[in-house]
Structure 1
């Protein structure tokens, strides 16, 4: 079974994240959306709330699981039997960061990273941008996936 692990803090899970997940689904028998607890990133929502939100977005899609984790991504991958990490890339800066992460993850564990480039119409959408707009009381619903 081919298992892909789509990782991130997803604070919040945006239409850009959903686009990457939707495009990754046909590549794997199962896609695990792994919600990271990160000490180095601001996480405005509690882990459980972020997990529940993403579960509601993918409700009824049998080959998607949503799970929290707080250790190294490669350790989560090993626990879940995932041989691939899925990441989205919006820009050259994203690419350089993801390449470095992919290199070290492969060196430490042999796991491969699959990079999916964002839809050009979504390349400006980021969780930090959404949080910034929310902090000023702006409506961000257009940047968040609709729940089925």
Structure 2
């Protein structure tokens, strides 16, 4: 079965990478889908930059590919014959947010959502928090893939 790991990934974190790696071990093909989130601002990285960072961070996973989509997620899954969504859960707050979306996606297209619990060492890690720390010169190594640490530093140096 093919699966999608959707998200804004601005930027990809080691928590995201852990979920993607674990999904890749369970599904024949995993697409990391960079989606537009209307509830978030335009972001630190462009969609193309995010996709490049994800490709570089997942290069060791032969069954992972990267794509982007700007409309309903279920339209993507239907168009590409994908039967599963994979989402990571850090806490009950993530569950409360993800559950209605999973139910709506199932209602709209029949696609199932598989929830993977985040490894405890990444339970507090979010792209937003990492950007906040990096913006003020804090160390985000060990929270982001190394290629992403460098890219984040470069972005904030340019601002």
TM-score, length-normalised on structure 1? 0.94
Give a deviation string over 1:33-79, Cα, whole Å, max 9, x none: 00112232122210000000100112243211001111111111112
Q: In the TM superposition, what is the alpha-carbon distance from 1:139 to its structure 2 partner?
A: 2.4
1:66 aligns with 2:66: yes
Q: Distance in 2 between matches of 1:28 and 1:60?
A: 16
Tell me if the contact between 2:24 and 2:61 (Cα under 8 Å) persists in the aligned partners.
no
Q: Distance in 2 between matches of 1:105 and 1:82?
A: 12
Q: Which moved more, 1:100-109 or 1:59-68?
A: 59-68
Tell me if the contact between 2:32 and 2:64 (Cα under 8 Å) persists in the aligned partners.
yes
Deviating beyond 3 angstroms after TM superposition, the runs of 4 or more aligned structure 1 residues are none
Q: In the TM superposition, what is the alpha-carbon distance from 1:131 to its structure 2 partner?
A: 1.1
What is residue 35 of structure 1 aligned with on the other side? Answer: 34
Q: Which moved more, 1:75-84 or 1:87-96?
A: 75-84
TM-score, length-normalised on structure 2? 0.87
Alignment of 1:4-43 (within 5 A): 4-42=3-41, 43=43
Q: Classify 1:60/1:124 alpha carbon distance in 2 versus 1 (closer, same or farther; 3 Å).
A: closer
Q: What SS does structure 2 have at the residue aligned with 1:141?
A: coil
The number of equivalent residue pairs is 146
Q: Which moved more, 1:51-60 or 1:5-14?
A: 51-60
Give a deviation string over 1:71-116, Cα, whole Å, max 9, x none: 1111111122110000000001101111111111101111000000
What is residue 81 of structure 2 aligned with on the other side? Answer: 81
1:127 aligns with 2:115: no
What is residue 50 of structure 1 aligned with on the other side? Answer: 50
Alignment of 1:74-113 (within 5 A): 74-113=74-113
